[in-house]
Every structure is written in structure tokens, then in C-alpha cells.
Structure 1
Amino acid sequence: MRTFVLHSFNSFKRKIENFSLIQLQPMLNFNSTRAMSQSTSIPKKQQRVRDHGYDNYMEIEKKTRKVLKLQNLILTEPSQSLPVARLETLAKRVGFTRRHETGAFILKFPHVFEIFEHPVQRVLFCRLTRQAIHQIEQERHALAAQVPLAVTRLRKLLMMSSTQRLRLEHVRIARAALGLPDDFEFSVVLRYPQFFRLVDANETRNKYIELVERDPSLAICAIEKTRERVYREKGVDAEDVRFSFVINFPPGFKIGKYLKIAVWKWQRVPYWSPYDDVSGYDLRSIEAQKRMEKRAVATIHELLSMTVEKKITLERIAHFRMAMHLPKKLKEFLLQHQGIFYISTRGNQGKLHTVFLREAYRKGELVEPNDLYLARRRLAELVLISPRKAKVDRELVGYKRSRLDDEMGQVRRECVEDVYEDFKGEDDMGRDKDGEDDLSSDIGSDVDSDISDEDDEFDDSVSIQRTP
């Protein structure tokens, strides 16, 4: 008994001494080469810190997602317009459950949706504005222009899979994030048989996209290019940059001394590339597990780098978990690396988790935007314009039209008076003058009729806007 007590006391004494030694260690920067503590892993349970820049981004996308659902309902009609009452009924299928919710939602975005009275049926119809149609065409052209890039993205995505194949359904769910067209099965997969092949094509649910041949020139990660640029620009130590990632913690994130040391050590841990085949390695050792954990970070980093907006939902990443050897608890795993990724729960009442690549954004915008991203952001700009701005624009247009009417009438009166003064008292020329008056009156009536028609539409739209 006495021996057991002495042994317990000695072990407790050693723990106190070790703790005091750790507490007295000075703060170490990442470039130091002094001996670190024995802890080499980042703590698994970390407090999540919100970054309002990304959350505000998702709040805007929540509105644009609803707008897109209504746009698709309208565009499916041959006339590309729908009665408001029928649109209320169809909108229940896409999540508008409350009564008159659709009508109130449409009136909030007059730069996207336009309400008019049907000339025959005399009921209210809804259609897209010219700005919204132009944005759709711009996005369609950008998507068609990015087909070669989409082919490369799909090839790299298949190369990251352990079996060089992915389910067609999983790729279809993530097609918008990857910049693939809706008919990518025909326009991309079947159009390029030298790169892809469909397996088990008899059943739609069991279809797989398989890579025909690997291309070593594509097996270069985006983070490797970033490391090379940092090494050339800043001239840091090559050993510090060789396996490191760009880390930018969110504002308000408290990084302590021990976490800083753990991150420094984690940055130097070597790992296998997401494009490497790890089936021949023994993954039971602790060192192999550390490499696989860091490989999972590199895989998600590469997957986000291939997306159009450098973001994708966590649920879509989970579809590729088995094929890419990702951990089961993805959310907890990503929260360990809040300096690399950011998880936003905004945008769908907390049901979806959107993962952002932090290094790709600056002040809420992409550092390197592309045409497809800019086209999608154009819709967000139309959504954010205030309805009051739309009323002011229409009033200005009406003012310009009324001024045009006055100017045209004044010009016609001046022309008639000048002609009358020059040719007064001459019968033959008077008859010619009458003919000219008839011609000018015909032209004037055409102009007046066109402007009056436009003014009628303008008055109807203004009255509709003021009715609610």
C-alpha cells in the first residue's frame, strides 16, 4: 500500500513539473526550429467562430435560390408567362406554402419579375423582366463557354476517386457547383468518349462515369501552385512551405499557444496527394493515419478549388466520401481547420451547410472571378436593388415620355405655322400644304399611338406596384 501511494505521488509530481515547464515556454513563431511539445495533432473539438462576411453571402443566396425556383416555373411555359393565381398554386411544389406568399415575394423584386394585365383575359400575369432575361442569357453563354474547363474538372474529379469512377447521380447533384450543364451526360460524358465512359447504363440509378485514361499533367493540385507562388514572391523557407496550407483564421478566433504549436507541426506533416493511389500502403500506423488526415484536407481543398464559386454544400461533399477516403464526421473534421475552410449554416434554415475555401475570398468576393460567377452574381445584384428604385426608374421613364410628347407636338405646330405663313393665299400651294399637313398628321398619330401604348403599360405597372 505504501509503495502504491509513493508511486502515485511521484507520477503526480512529474505531471506538475511537466505542466510548469510547458507553461514557462515562450511563444514560438512558425519559422522557429526549436523543440516543440510532444502534441502534433490539432484539437478535434474547437469552438466554431462565425464569419459574417460568408454568412451575409449565404443570406443573399437564399433569396436568389427562391428567385431561381420561380424563374424555372415561368420559363417552362411556352409563352414564358403565368397567371399570378396559377403561379401561387405551382409555387407550393418548390417551398412556398403560406397563402399569398408567392405574390408578396414577387413584388419584392420588380427588377426580376414583372406583373402585367393580360390584354384579352384581363387577369394579372407574371413574366421576367428584360434585365432578368439578359442575365439568364449571359449565364447560358458563360456556361457553354466553360464546357472545356468542365471537361477538365470532371477528369480531375474522377482521378481523385480511388476506383477512377463516380456515380452519375452524385455528379448530377453537384453539377451547378462544378460548372457542368444540365445535360452534361450527353454534352460532356457521351460527347468525349476519349475521356469518359458510362458503366451499367441500363439502369439510371446504377450509372457510373468512368475515366478512360489518367493524365499525369492534370495531377497537380491548386495548393501546389499556391505554394510555388508564395515561395517565389515571399522567399520563405522551403521546408515551411513544402506541405503547408494557406491559413486565415476568422475574426475573433482565439488561437492559443498550444494551438499555434499544433498548427505549426501540422503544417510540416507530409501527406499523399489526392491524385495518388494509396491502396498499396499500410495505413495502420500512426504516421500513415496522420498523412491520410492531411490528405483528406488536401482532397476537400482541391474539390473546392474546382468549383465555380469555390464553395459547395457539405452534403454534396459527403456523396464523394467513400470514393475519396474522406472521414465519416465531415463537419467535425472541417471545424478542426477553420483557418482553411468556413462552414456556414445560413441560407436554408440551418438544414444545409455550405463550405467555403477561405483563401479564395476577400471582402465577400472571389479573388479570381470567372464569367459564370459574374453572371450568377448579376442575378444577386438584381435581387438586391430596392423596389423603391424600380418605382423611381419608372417615374423617370414616364417623365421622359411626357416631355417627348410635348416636344413632338410643339415641333408639329411650329412646322404648320411656318408653312402657313410662307404659302398663305396660294391655292395650289395651299392644296400641297394640306397634303403635307395630312402626311405630318399621319406620322404624328403613329408616334402618339406608340407612346400612348407604352404609357398605358407604364400606368398599369405603377398601379400594380402601389396596390399591395
Structure 2
Amino acid sequence: MRIFILRISNFINQNLKNPQWIHHHQHNPNFNPIRGMSQSTSIPKKQLRIRDHGYDNYMEIEKKTRKVLKFQNLILSEPNQSIPIPRLETLAHRIGFTRHEASAFLLKFPHVFEIFEHPVQRILFCRLTRKAILQIEHERNALADQVSRAVTRLRKLLMMSNGLRLRLEHVRIARSALGLPDDFEYSVVLRYPEFFRLIDAKETRNKYIELVEFDPELGICAIENARERVYRERGSDAEDVRFSFLIDFPPGFKISKYFRIAMWKWQRLPYWSPYEAVSGYDLRSIEAQKRMEKRAVATIHELLSLTVEKKITLERIAHFRMAMDLPKKLKEFLLQHQGIFYVSTRGNHGKLHTVFLREAYRKGELVEPNDLYLARRKLAELVILSPRKAKVDRELVGYRRSKLDDEMGQVTRAYVEDACEDFKGGNGVGQSEDAEDDLSSDIGSEVDSGDDNDDFDGSVSMQRKSHE
């Protein structure tokens, strides 16, 4: 105790000799020199973002994929699903490209876009490759197969909101992340009237999706299942994991002694579930505010768990801020919990922020992938493939076609020689007709009736020459 008092006195004596320090604190009635020396055991409000290159590299590929999707939608909107290059350069400004950047961008991804010359108009056209079309069909099938799960996700999303309703426009903006089809208003909301209903709010002139009935069986958070799994695998103390979250700090994150104590206290702090209504509680106390802050962490955690890829942009989370009682400064709030979430600024020159759920990823890949996620990753695989691989594929296709043409030519000549031998050894036109029928049946539907008459006349002339 004496040593502590001596340190305080030395600190005050040293600063009393500094006139700037005296001028700054002489009019401050709340100044306490002990407070400046003590270390807080609460989580700091402002923290620097520590980069995790695994997520940033993921977003670098995602940035290219988003641009590719813009061109894909533009090409698929055309009647023949192909667009002239001059028209594409004219419409490039709609998707954020200049006139000359569009053509250069298409040439970078030959596995997705194919540029060819129109046989009649003699101008360059662009269309999707066969691999890209198969990827789109695979994604559509995966999206159609998981409609029932999309209904469950939308029900849980509405259960977390105040009043069990959300704006239709806000859900439409986040439909891709939630795995909802583009026409979800008709294929999901109106198709299941036992779960949802559309409401026109006269006071705000907006449409809302409202949940018909709250289902307690769906009110189980993903973090609760994760806690149960950790408790079974590791055998941790039930009191330690009752209100805790899975923490995985990024590489290079410095954890001080006071921060470790603050995290230990925060992990054991009870909170209200995101599916529990808090309108009946008194939220004016400090303890209630701490619980609401942890409830906001649980709400964002559950929102990310409802997405297909366990990630969503920060701007789309902000649309649900008022309906789910989230804090105003979302980015600063998420940076306080870098062991649970990761905020990436890659994409759109740092203006776009993507929030990842750290526990759902391992080495840049989803731990529990679903069919829709795998279908979308196939497009990313086509994007990162080397252009040299596309050139090799074209050469292999050309080689196979030429080889197939040679084989078909040899088969055709063999059939013609057999037919000529039958004409030479036969006793009439009937045998020649049988040989001609065999030739036509083997070669297939590519030979029409006019060609059959020409072959028959040629075979008859060959028979006359043999008799002469």
C-alpha cells in the first residue's frame, strides 16, 4: 500500500511541474489521477482491425466473381443469350465499366465467356461457355431443391425482428445471401400463407413481410447447438460454456492480461436470446445494457448462421438494425469481437464491408458446405482457371472433332465398298435395294431421300459398267 501511494505522489509531483498539464486539468472537477493509472477490465470500445489473409484472399476471388455475374446477367437478358461486342461496350457503363474495359475484361475469363464471329453479320459476339451454362443450371437446381430450408430461414429471420415483421425491400436486397429465389415474394411468401403474409403499411407506404405465428421450436440459436457440441466433445464445465461463444482470434492479434480478464467475464455474462422479446424488461440499468450488447452479438451471429455462405455485407446487416435492436456504429461494434467475426474491406475499393462468421470457416473454405454454396463456388473455380487451360481445351476439342470426322469417313467408305460388292455379286435390283437400306440405316438420319436416289442411280450405273 505504501508503494502504491508513493507512485501516486511521484506521478502528481512530476506533472505539477508541467504547466500544460496543470492548465488542462485545473478546470476539470472530475479529474482523478488514480483513474489515469488504472487499467480497465472491460473490452475496449475501439480496436484496430487485424487482417486475416485467408478471408481477404477469399474476397479477392469474390470481387472478380461479382463482376463476372454482372456480365452474365447482361448476356442472359438478350433474346438469343448472346450479345454483339459493340452493343456490350455501349451498355458497359450500366455495370460500372468503361467502353474499352468491357472487352478486355471478357478476355481474362475464357472459361466463362466465349467470343465468336457471327456467320452472317460478320461481327464479334459474346456468349457464355458450356461450363458456365452448366454452372448456372446447377445453381438453379440447388436453389429450387432447398426452398423448404429457405422458408425456415425466413421464418427464423422474422422471429428475431420486433413485431415479427420486416420490410419487403430489405429482405429482397439480402435474398441472395439468405438463399431465397429472385421471385421469393411469390414462390415463398405467397405460396405459404400459413407462415407469411404481406402487409401494406399506410403510415410508411411500404410493404412488410409478417410472420403469422411464432414457433418456439424454431427459436433455438446456432450457437446453442455449437455449445452443446463443444460440451460433448471437450467435456468443459457447464457453467463455462452456458453463455460463451466460440472465440478464434486472427493471427497477430495481441491479447493483454486485462483483455483476457475482460473476455473471461464477458463469456460468462448472461444475455437474452435473439428470439426472446425484450420489450417487457427495464433496460436502463448498466447490467441490462451489457446484456443487450451481448444479445446484439448473438443476433448478428444468428443472422450470419442463417445465410448460405455464412457471410453477408455490413450494409445489408444495417438494413435490419432498427428491427433487431442492433447498435448504430456496427463496424466499431464488430471490431470489438474479432474472435467471433471478421470484417473484410476487400471489394469496391474498400467501400464494401463483408462480415464473416469465423467459426464457420477453416482455411478459406466452409466447414459444412451445402449444395448452393458448392454450386456458387464452381463459378469461382472457372474464374481462377488459367487462360492457357482454355486454349488447351480448345485444341483437345478440335483434335477430337477431326478424329471423329476421320472415323466417320472411314466407316462411310467401308459401307460403300460393301454395297458395291453386293451389287457385283447379286442377281437383281432387289439386292441393291437391300444393301442401300443397310447403308441408310447405319449412317443415320443425316442422309435424306434425295441423297438416297442419287446413290441408287450411281449404284445402277456401276452395275451396268460391270456387265459391259
Query: Quick check: TM above 0.5?
Result: yes
CA distance in structure 2 between the aligned counterparts of 1:69 and 1:347, rounded to whole angstroms: 15
The question of whether the paired residues in 2 share the 8 Å contact of 1:196 and 1:212 is answered with yes
- TM-score for the superposition, normalised by structure 2: 0.82
2:214 aligns to what? 214
What pairs with 1:330-349 in structure 2 (closer than 5 Å)? 330-349=330-349
Which residue of the partner structure matches residue 76 of structure 2? 75
Superposition TM-score, scaled by structure 1 size: 0.82
User: Do 1:423 and 1:430's aligned partners in 2 also have CA atoms closer than 8 Å?
Assistant: no
CA RMSD across the alignment: 3.0
The whole-number CA distance in structure 2 between the counterparts of 1:186 and 1:428 is 73
Q: Kindly tell me: are residues 409 and 273 of structure 1, through their superposed partners in 2, closer, same or farther at Cα, counting changes over 3 Å?
A: same
Per the alignment, residue 308 of structure 2 pairs with 308
CA distance in 1, matches of 2:225, 2:71: 41
Whether contact under 8 Å (2:118, 2:125) holds in the other structure is yes
Deviation at 1:223, TM superposition (A): 0.2
Q: Which has the larger displacement, 368-377 or 135-144? A: 135-144
8 Å CA contact 1:62, 1:347 repeated in 2: yes
Asked if 2 retains the 8 angstrom alpha-carbon contact of 1:311 and 1:356, the reply is yes
Residues 15, 367 of structure 1: alpha-carbon distance in 2 compared, 3 angstrom cutoff: farther
Q: Secondary structure in 1 aligned to 2:264?
A: helix
**1:389 aligned to 2:385?**
no
Shift in CA distance, 71/376, structure 1 to aligned 2, threshold 3 Å: same
Matched residue, 1:127: 127
* Matched residue type, 1:160: M
Shift of 1:374: 0.9
| 1:178-202 Cα shifts (integer Å, max 9, x gaps) | 1111111122222222222222267
Does the C-alpha gap of structure 1 residues 163 and 394 become closer, same or farther in structure 2, counting only changes over 3 Å? same
Q: Is 1:12 paired with 2:13?
A: no
Shift of 1:441: 10
AA partner of residue 153 (structure 2): R
Q: Please give the alpha-carbon distance, in whole angstroms, between the structure 2 residues aligned to 1:406 and 1:127.
A: 30
Indicate how the Cα distance of structure 1 residues 164 and 423 shifts in structure 2: closer, same or farther if over 3 A, else same: closer
1:232 is matched with 232
- Secondary structure at the aligned position of 1:100 is classed as helix
Partner of 1:193: 193
Counterpart-to-counterpart distance in 2, 1:226 and 1:425: 83
**Counterpart AA for 2:137:** E
CA shift at 1:424, angstroms? Answer: 9.9
Q: Is the Cα–Cα contact under 8 Å of residues 169 and 205 in structure 1 kept in the other structure? A: no
Could you tell me which amino acid in structure 2 is paired with residue 188 of structure 1?
V
Q: How many residues align?
A: 421
Is structure 2 residue 49 aligned with structure 1 residue 59?
Answer: no
2:302 corresponds to which letter in structure 1? E
Instruction: Report if the CA contact (8 A) 2:423-2:431 is conserved.
Output: no
How far apart in 2 are the matches of 1:203 and 1:290? Answer: 34
State the Cα deviation string for residues 196-228 of structure 1 (Å, max 9, x = none).
222226799511112221111111100001001
1:163 Cα deviation from its structure 2 partner = 2.2
Match for 1:332: what amino acid? E
Aligned counterparts of 2:444 and 2:181: Cα–Cα separation in 1: 49
Tell me the CA shift for residue 339 of structure 1. 0.6
SS of residue paired to 1:277 = coil
Corresponding residue number in structure 2 for 1:251: 251
Identify the residue that residue 87 of structure 1 maps to in structure 2. 88
**Bigger Cα Rg:** 2
**Cα separation, 2, equivalents of 1:270 and 1:13:** 40
Q: What does 1:248-397 align with in structure 2 at a 5 Å threshold?
A: 248-397=248-397
Q: Report SS of the residue matched to 2:214.
A: coil
2: CA distance between counterparts of 1:423 and 1:295? 89
Distance (Å, rounded) in 2 between the aligned partners of 1:180 and 1:446? 45
Q: Output the CA distance in 2 between the equivalents of 1:91 and 1:121.
A: 22
| Distance (Å, rounded) in 2 between the aligned partners of 1:195 and 1:402 | 59
Q: Which runs of 5+ in 1 are unaligned?
A: 1-7, 17-36, 449-468
SS in 2 for 1:308: coil
Which position in structure 1 is the counterpart of 2:45? 44
Cα deviation, 1:355-384, whole Å, max 9, x if unaligned, reads 000000011111111111111111111111
Shift, 1:407, TM fit: 3.3
Tell me how far 1:445 sits from its aligned partner: 11
SS in 2 for 1:324: coil
More relative contact order, 1 or 2 (CA 8 Å, 6+ apart)? 1
Distance apart, 1:267 and its partner CA: 0.5
Amino acid at match of 2:52: D
* 1:257–1:201 Cα change, 3 Å: closer
Q: Unaligned 5+ residue runs, structure 2?
A: 13-37, 448-468
SS of 1:200's equivalent? strand
Deviation at 1:128, TM superposition (A): 1.4
Deviations 1:43-86 (A, max 9, x none): 12222111111111111111111111111111112211111110
Give the Cα separation in 1 of the matches to 2:446 and 2:328. 70
What CA distance in whole angstroms lies between the structure 1 residues aligned with 2:74 and 2:417? 56
Q: For 2:251, give the aligned amino acid.
A: P
> Is this contact kept in 2: 1:296–1:325, CA < 8 A?
yes
1:241 — aligned with what?
A: 241
Give the equivalent residue in structure 1 for 2:19.
Answer: none
- SS of the counterpart of 1:197? strand
Query: Does the residue aligned with 1:72 lie in a helix, a strand or coil?
Result: helix
